[in-house]
A and B are shown apart, each in its own frame.
Chain A
């Protein structure tokens, strides 16, 4: 998909909470032996998807160097809305000074809600409806105790402000593609506390099929080869899947390395691909091309080809994502349960 007017990214920001729960600590409690990620990020008692979104959004506005009141849309993609009914986006928009002349809504598409918001913002800016539009992917993902997802369900998010491509944009969107089917691999029904999943069904017919579907289609449509890209980011539910799908599509470990943050922070769900992209922006150089493919259960993938521009060098002010990853405090399982509100009172 291409826009009528070229669309770029004028600011980006990311945030990962400081608390970490190690896989070894989960194994200590439940007697498991798996290590799908080394450790995962955990919110503090006073953090949620909205606070994560605000942290990332503020950073994006600061780097964009724009008047936030000119942001015409704020979309929050998440599957952990603090309110079942009441938009997270309104709180974020208010917090960054984008209200009242703003479109806002929360998007839900499991782990691709963030990139779904990106697609919408690209459309709004590309059509000329808005000068700036902000897309956020953020989550405080829920992992059922003693379930495989407890190891990986993590917290974090990233925000991107889209504008018409110009000398101030740090990168621009060359093309995008979306690939969606009705594939029930992972879901959470209304009023349920934790998602359920189809075990191995989440792999080949879900994650791999959709990422390969979107990725291959975008490569074919644009004529690019994997070797044309300096970097690549794939949705990262665990350490293994993104590495495998990268190899399947012809990308190397070197290409995905900067954006592969899952071993150290876990799967931030709707924040996963956006956080990986933010980490890649932190190291990218002008003219680098980035291949990005998200995945959301249900299921679908959004693929993007992003070209980095000269302005990246002036838009990459601290704090970089790595500082959030390295600023960490380990907690034990009991503290984890307390901070995630999983102890009955």
Chain B
């Protein structure tokens, strides 16, 4: 397989775009990436998105977005893997270039969530769970996370220690121009916010936002930011079938595969973006990636080790909680942010000397997970 590099990235701020369509967001981010790469001639397009069928009542996104980008005729594919759509789309795009099938691939994640009422969003997001055995019981994604959160509390950490995951993400987002909530949030504020699903407070959950992020992949020329490792893995969708609720196997399996492909160990990772859509998920992500021992994730986020000057900076632009979580675009935001870090273009968020960064992007309650490792090679 050919080595693959990132030729350009494009981000638009995560916010509520009342005056724009989902097509507009896709085009805006894609054009920024094309300009960044200095490339007009795209050979293949991947569109990552989860909820357009329920929110926009629009399917066939590959054709629709390619048309709106002014590139009809180009082969295009829509990737849906619930919240992991971005990471999985990137994984597929890498293979398209690595295999030699395509030389210039655009992968753009897009989600526009502000067009509908929250109950439709909740219903749509619940579709990430297996319908017959999970969703139809009436449980929401937050409800499932709450059960795991409670178990983690009983096993390893206090509610406040877990909540610090959200506090840290907000702290890291300060000054981030594309973040939806670029401000600090105190532990007290988060812990006094209403319950979303007991014991998860509403300020421990990522919000609803619109966004699009884009990356252009080309064969590596031995310079810049290369894709060092890419892997996806799956797990039982019904958490009742898992032997250990606090061990998200899809994260560990994908991470191990990606590390193996990159020829690294977890200790070689300089910075990481993890899926903190709920505080507990961020902590289990850190543990699943092997960035700390099992049961010590919450302890880690209560230290300065995850800050940009720390041992393993995490969510340096605010993560899902503060940068925002436009579901199908989130995985691409993570990878674009890692790219900016490795290109030394992260401005106030820069992790000095960063060479290896990864993005962990999962769907459902880690029933699918993508881990993509990027490496600066010059």
**Interface residues in chain A, defined as those with a beta carbon under 8 Å from any beta carbon in chain B:** 33, 198-201, 204-205
B114 and A201 form a contact (CB under 8 A) = yes
A199 and B118 form a contact (CB under 8 A) = yes
Bound-state CA distance A198–B19 (Å) is 15
A195: min CB distance to chain B, Å: 14
Residues of chain A within 8 A of B133, CB atoms compared: none
Residues of chain A within 8 A of B118, CB atoms compared: 199
B194 and A205 form a contact (CB under 8 A) = no
- Secondary structure dominating the interface of B: loop
Residues of chain A within 8 A of B114, CB atoms compared: 200-201
A204 and B117 form a contact (CB under 8 A) = no
12 contacts between A and B (CB under 8 A): A33-B194, A198-B117, A199-B117, A199-B118, A200-B16, A200-B114, A201-B18, A201-B114, A204-B16, A204-B18, A205-B18, A205-B19
Additional A-B contact list (10), CB under 8 Å, known A199-B117, A204-B18: A33-B194, A198-B117, A199-B118, A200-B16, A200-B114, A201-B18, A201-B114, A204-B16, A205-B18, A205-B19
- 6 residue pairs, one from A and one from B, having the closest CB atoms: A205-B18, A33-B194, A199-B117, A199-B118, A204-B18, A204-B16
- Secondary structure dominating the interface of A: helix
Residues of chain B within 8 A of A205, CB atoms compared: 18-19
B290: min CB distance to chain A, Å: 39
- B195 to chain A: closest residue by CB: A33
Interface string of B1-43 (1 = CB under 8 A from A): 0000000000000001011000000000000000000000000
- B18 to chain A: closest residue by CB: A205
Bound-state CA distance A33–B194 (Å) is 8
Give the contact-size bracket for chain B.
under 10
Residues of chain B within 8 A of A199, CB atoms compared: 117-118
Interface string of B114-126 (1 = CB under 8 A from A): 1001100000000
Bound-state CA distance A201–B118 (Å) is 11
- A33 to chain B: closest residue by CB: B194
Bound-state CA distance A201–B18 (Å) is 8
Bound-state CA distance A303–B18 (Å) is 24
- B193 to chain A: closest residue by CB: A33
Residues of chain A within 8 A of B18, CB atoms compared: 201, 204-205
Bound-state CA distance A199–B120 (Å) is 12
Bound-state CA distance A249–B318 (Å) is 31
Bound-state CA distance A115–B347 (Å) is 50
B107: min CB distance to chain A, Å: 29
Bound-state CA distance A336–B348 (Å) is 55
Bound-state CA distance A103–B117 (Å) is 42
Residues of chain B within 8 A of A204, CB atoms compared: 16, 18
B215: min CB distance to chain A, Å: 30
Bound-state CA distance A201–B16 (Å) is 9
- A32 to chain B: closest residue by CB: B194
- A209 to chain B: closest residue by CB: B18
A107: min CB distance to chain B, Å: 27
Bound-state CA distance A198–B118 (Å) is 9
Bound-state CA distance A200–B114 (Å) is 8
Bound-state CA distance A204–B114 (Å) is 12
- A34 to chain B: closest residue by CB: B194
Residues of chain B within 8 A of A200, CB atoms compared: 16, 114
B27: min CB distance to chain A, Å: 21
Bound-state CA distance A205–B19 (Å) is 8
Residues of chain B within 8 A of A198, CB atoms compared: 117
- A198 to chain B: closest residue by CB: B117
Interface string of B153-191 (1 = CB under 8 A from A): 000000000000000000000000000000000000000
Bound-state CA distance A204–B194 (Å) is 23
Residues of chain B within 8 A of A33, CB atoms compared: 194
Bound-state CA distance A205–B114 (Å) is 11
A151: min CB distance to chain B, Å: 15
A181: min CB distance to chain B, Å: 11
| Of listed B18, B19, B194, residue having the most chain A CB within 10 A | B18
Bound-state CA distance A75–B117 (Å) is 35
B81: min CB distance to chain A, Å: 27
Bound-state CA distance A33–B201 (Å) is 13
Bound-state CA distance A204–B18 (Å) is 8
Residues of chain A within 8 A of B194, CB atoms compared: 33
Residues of chain A within 8 A of B19, CB atoms compared: 205
A211: min CB distance to chain B, Å: 15
Interface string of B188-231 (1 = CB under 8 A from A): 00000010000000000000000000000000000000000000
